[in-house]
């Protein structure tokens, strides 16, 4: 079933009306009809199974049949600091897939090698709003009830000093200049953690100075193997492995 976003305040006596963009998607794009079942989610963790009972020119009325909380969410909070990429489509692809996988916080990261050179002032509110729409769309695609928080863009030095409240902090890096731990071997350290912060660099990776700063701030340097991966590939593969580990750990007790 397809998912549609609603404000929980719009649910009254087990009935909700879908209007605006969500109605357009439901009626005009997906061409839903009276009697069909759909998912509704509030972005805070609740997902509802609903039946369409009426459709007019401007809205659809749905009856709530069942509700679940945090369906499919893992217990571990995973935050990903993804460096902003030269190609906007690659950055957008990264945040889309990180949302589908189950990341709970996404931090747009400005590093020394972000190309072209950007500052916090260069990132318009329109761009941030576009990223939010991509994240929302990814939640619909994956039937996810929880919308990840898109944090404000941050420069690297502020990032390593401000984002400290995590059980584990890791930074992906491919250079042999630093002692690295293969992600597969690092998973043993993940047992019992409640939160993890992951940092992925831009094209060209992090600088040596940035890695040193991260290590001094409690980050572990992690390798994803012998191949040189694109930034968005590293984020998706790394987070995917971590989430599969947490899922398996919970099922195996």
Strands 77-83 and 46-55: unpaired
CATH fold of 3-69 reads Ribosomal Protein L25; Chain P (2.40.240)
Q: What is the DSSP string of 83-113?
A: EP-SSHHHHHHHHHHHHHHT-SEEEEEE-TT
**pLDDT per residue as tens digits for the range 116-133:** 555 666 677 788 999 999
Q: What is the tally of helices (H) and strands (E) in the chain?
A: 7, 14
CATH class for the region spanning 77-251: alpha beta
Give residue limits of the domains in the chain. 3-69, 77-251
**pLDDT per residue as tens digits for the range 56-91:** 999 999 999 999 998 889 999 999 999 999 899 999
pLDDT at 168 over 60: yes
With a threshold of 0.75, does the pTM exceed it? Answer: yes
Contact criterion met (CB below 8 Å) for 192 and 242: no
CA distance 170 to 127: 27
């Amino acid at each position: 079933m397809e998912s549609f976003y609603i404000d929980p305040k719009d649910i009254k006596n087990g009935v909700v009306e879908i209007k605006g963009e969500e109605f357009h998607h439901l009626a005009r794009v997906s061409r839903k009809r009276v009697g069909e079942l759909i998912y509704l989610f509030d972005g805070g963790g609740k997902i509802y199974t609903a039946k369409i009972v009426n459709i007019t020119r401007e809205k659809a009325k749905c009856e709530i049949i069942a509700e679940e909380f945090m369906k499919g969410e893992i217990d571990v909070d995973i935050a990903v600091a993804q460096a902003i990429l030269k190609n906007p489509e690659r950055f957008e692809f990264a945040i889309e897939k990180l949302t589908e996988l189950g990341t709970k916080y996404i931090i747009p990261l400005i590093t020394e090698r972000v190309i072209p050179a950007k500052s916090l002032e260069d990132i318009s509110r329109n761009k941030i709003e576009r990223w939010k729409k991509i994240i929302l769309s990814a939640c619909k695609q994956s039937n996810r009830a929880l919308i990840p928080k898109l944090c404000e863009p941050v420069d690297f030095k502020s990032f390593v000093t401000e984002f400290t409240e995590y059980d584990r902090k890791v930074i992906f890096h491919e250079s042999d200049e630093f002692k690295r731990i293969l992600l597969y071997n690092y998973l043993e350290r993940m047992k019992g953690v409640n939160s993890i912060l992951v940092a992925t660099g831009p094209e060209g990776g992090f600088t040596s100075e940035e890695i040193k700063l991260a290590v001094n701030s409690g980050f572990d340097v992690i390798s994803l193997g012998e191949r040189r991966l694109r930034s968005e590939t590293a984020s998706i593969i790394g987070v995917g492995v971590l989430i599969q580990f947490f899922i398996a750990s919970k099922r195996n007790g």
